[in-house]
Amino acid sequence: MKNVRLPFARCLVVAALAVAAQGSWAETITVSAAASLKDAFTELAQKYEANNPQDKVQLNFGGSGALFQQIEKGAPVDVFASADEKTMDKAEQAKLVLEGTRQTFVTNTLVLIQPAKSQAQLDSLQALQDKAVARIAIGNPESVPVGRYTKAALEAAQQWDALQPKLILAQNVRQALDYVARAEVDAGFVYGTDAALMKDKVKVAYVVPVEKTVSYPIAVMKTGAQEAAAKRFVALVTSLIGQGVLKSYGFVPAVK
């Protein structure tokens, strides 16, 4: 019996060491992404973990400006995906982006939405001056890309100043969507992909023309500690598989 137990004990030790070694290989990457990417990136994270079982993906969603501020203050973020180029420009200027990793991977549209049961006809930006429209949700232009796109469009249509009393500022695009879905406001500005998620609660009244394309850049951050895994995640996002997932959520692929 003694000779039988010894090899068995050794097997247990070897197995324990193997588990420990596997744990040491595991890499947890933190991906900070614009709120409008939540559904698509949740699916992409699942695909990444299925293909890389040694890794884990921790997702952090919010307004692009707020996410940038977190990274700037030292948050250990491995991958950053912004809803506009301007925010990623700031990250580059702050020397937070790993050189050569920035890519624009999808584009989107800006739309004016209403609660699904609304009877108001909002087929232009000028229509927002109607007395029936008392509250309009927009992302805060100071920190939310959709808010900056909205402000620029309203200024181009000479409506920004006139609509100021009606504007309700949201912390991110999903909050603006939620305000409209719950009919807490009469209208709101979101991305086309967000409106598509709640077709039963909101309706697109108008596709807003924009001077600058609503484009999304992604990059590996220097603040993270998992460069190799971060690059693998970015590679998935920009691959045919990743672009297919994004397209299924309404995004227009930008990687050829």
48 is an annotated ligand-binding site residue: no
Which residues make beta-bridge pairs with 169? 138
The string of DSSP codes covering the chain is -HHHHHHHHHHHHHHHHHHHHHHHH-EEEEEEEEGGGHHHHHHHHHHHHHH-TTEEEEEEEE-HHHHHHHHHTT---SEEE-SSHHHHHHHHHTT-BPTT--EEEEEE-EEEEEETT------SSGGGGSTT---EEEE-TTT-HHHHHHHHHHHHTT-HHHHGGGEEEESSHHHHHHHHHTTSSSEEEEEHHHHHHTTTTEEEEEEEP-SS-EEEEEEEBTT-S-HHHHHHHHHHHHSHHHHHHHHHTT-EE---
32 is an annotated ligand-binding site residue: no
Identity at 123, one-letter amino acid code: D
191 is an annotated ligand-binding site residue: yes
64 is an annotated ligand-binding site residue: yes
Closest CA to 112 of 176, 39, 184, 33: 176
Residue ranges of the annotated binding site for molybdate are 36, 64, 173, 191
Residue ranges of the annotated binding site are 36, 64, 173, 191
